[in-house]
Amino acid sequence: MGETILVAGGAGYIGSHTCLRLAEAGFTPVVYDNLSNGWESFVQWGPLEVGDINDAARLDEVFAKHRPVAVIHFAAFIEVGFSVAEPGPFYGNNVGGTITLVEAARGAGIDKLVFSSTCATYGAPVRVPMDESHPQAPLNPYGRSKLMVEEILRDMDRYKGFRSVVLRYFNAAGADPQGRIGEKHEPETHAIPLAIAAARGERDRFMLFGEDYDTRDGTCVRDYIHVLDLADAHVAALKWLLAGKDSAAFNLGTGTGTSVKELVGAIERRSNRPFPLEPAPRRDGDAPSLVADNGKARDLLGWTPRYGLDEIIEHAWAWHANGAGALKR
Ligand SMILES: NC(=O)c1ccc[n+]([C@@H]2O[C@H](COP(=O)([O-])OP(=O)(O)OC[C@H]3O[C@@H](n4cnc5c(N)ncnc54)[C@H](O)[C@@H]3O)[C@@H](O)[C@H]2O)c1
Ligand SMILES: O=c1ccn([C@@H]2O[C@H](COP(=O)(O)OP(=O)(O)O[C@H]3O[C@H](CO)[C@H](O)[C@H](O)[C@H]3O)[C@@H](O)[C@H]2O)c(=O)[nH]1
């Protein structure tokens, strides 16, 4: 058995794929999740400890039982709409919960954490592609909650020697090609699962949120990155910390932008089933174009994304057709 890693939020979409890769790399992932948005059936590569990151006593118990050497932290609320509707509980979970988790980790003698951040911390792009030095001015409480945690982690390093790697994901997408786990959020707000559901006739249309952006076809451009490429980057970030290297932040994206219309076109080609598109107003807080400059992660972490958009859609389609519907929490 390899070293044990506590994976907070490991029953969710990106966390479960990271557990898969951690196990393949010889680590033992212990999932700590309150199952508020996760799935017990996604926990396949190590034990599940049901618990909340706001619960210090439960965290102490789990740290003492499993003695992990580091933490990977995915546990958060992820919906921009909820962050605007209910900023109080949102910040409580994402910021307050993180502080409780970090303090519990420190109490257990751990000084290493990998954190799920987002390109949403950059806000409206002043240049594209965006590198890690792009100004950070988030447009909503979701992005601000992640930026606050980044700042808290910088202070924890500066004043307490607690090291972290901050990973700023662009748009996570795709699924395990073997169909064991995949993307299932409730409610689902992400473009790829919603467009696949439309192509499969499970939804009657796909809403196009804005066709008047200053982009090549008027729709928003995003950088879709395969969830297993993200998972590989977490293993690389963990090894970075275990090797004693300094705290750092990395963008995780492919560097290639895809517009919403291009995305829909690719899903229609894969499915051979055109589906109705309904023009709709811009969604509040959507930036026109978000594309990563991933040079730093390539150079320093030795990380290279392996999958492109066609594989993302292929794997997401297979998951949607075979796995997602059968899930039980
Ligand atoms: N999906 C994306 O495209 C994307 C992009 C950028 C950043 N992120 C970040 O990556 C992380 C994972 O995202 P995801 O898409 O896998 O989301 P997800 O909702 O599938 O996973 C989050 C997990 O955290 C758990 N959780 C939430 N609050 C908790 C708490 N208080 N205590 C214990 N467990 C708790 C949920 O039950 C869930 O299993 C999040 O922090 C998110 O903000 C996601
Ligand atoms: O039904 C839909 C759903 C989405 N879109 C568009 O498709 C693009 C991608 O939207 P997603 O909701 O899939 O992804 P976002 O870029 O909004 O979200 C990403 O960035 C967010 C912060 O901005 C969070 O980090 C989130 O978890 C992450 O997936 C956006 O231009 C959106 O407007 C549509 O046109 N119709």
Q: What is the pLDDT of residues 96-125, one digit of tens each?
A: 999 999 999 999 999 999 999 999 999 999
Q: Decide if pLDDT at 328 tops 80.
A: no
pLDDT value of position 285 = 80
Residue of minimum CA distance from atom 20 in ligand 1: 12
pLDDT value of position 322 = 84
For 247-281, the DSSP string reads: PEEEEES-S--EEHHHHHHHHHHHHT----EEEEP
Place of tokens 């439960």: 58
Other residues' Cβ atoms within 10 Å of the Cβ of residue 113? 27
Rounded to the nearest angstrom, the distance between the alpha carbon of 304 and the centre of ligand 1 is 23
13 lines ligand 1 (CB under 6 A): yes
- Domain locations in the chain as residue ranges: 4-172+225-252, 191-222+255-326
pLDDT value of position 153 = 98
Residues 6+ apart with CB under 8 A from 202: none
pLDDT bracket for residue 246 (50, 70, 90): very high
Which numeric CATH code is attached to 4-172+225-252? 3.40.50.720
**Neighbour-count burial for 159-177, b at 16+ CB within 10 Å, e otherwise:** eeebbbbbbbbbbbbbbbe
The CATH T-level fold of domain 191-222+255-326 is UDP-galactose 4-epimerase; domain 1 (3.90.25)
Phi-psi region of 46 (alpha: psi -120 to 50; beta: other; left: phi over 0): left
Q: What is the mean pLDDT of residues 220-229?
A: 98
pLDDT value of position 327 = 59
Mean pLDDT for the chain overall: 96
pLDDT value of position 196 = 95
Q: What is the mean pLDDT of residues 235-243?
A: 98
Q: Which atom of ligand 1 is nearest to the CA of 15?
A: 16
Q: Do domains 4-172+225-252 and 191-222+255-326 have the same CATH topology?
A: no
Residues 6+ apart with CB under 8 A from 25: 2, 235
182 lines ligand 1 (CB under 6 A): no
- Determine the Cα–Cα distance for residues 293 and 305; give it in Å rounded to an integer: 12
pLDDT one-digit tens code per residue, 141-166: 999 999 999 999 999 999 999 999 99
Rounded to the nearest angstrom, the distance between the alpha carbon of 214 and the centre of ligand 1 is 31
194 lines ligand 2 (CB under 6 A): yes
228 lines ligand 2 (CB under 6 A): no
Catalytic residues: 142
Report the share of the chain in percent with pLDDT over 90: 92
Q: What are phi and psi of 164, to 5 degrees?
A: -145, 155
Rounded to the nearest angstrom, the distance between the alpha carbon of 190 and the centre of ligand 2 is 5
Residue of minimum CA distance from atom 3 in ligand 1: 172
Q: What is the mean pLDDT of residues 183-212?
A: 93
Residue of minimum CA distance from atom 26 in ligand 1: 75
- Determine the Cα–Cα distance for residues 71 and 110; give it in Å rounded to an integer: 8
Rounded to the nearest angstrom, the distance between the alpha carbon of 36 and the centre of ligand 1 is 10
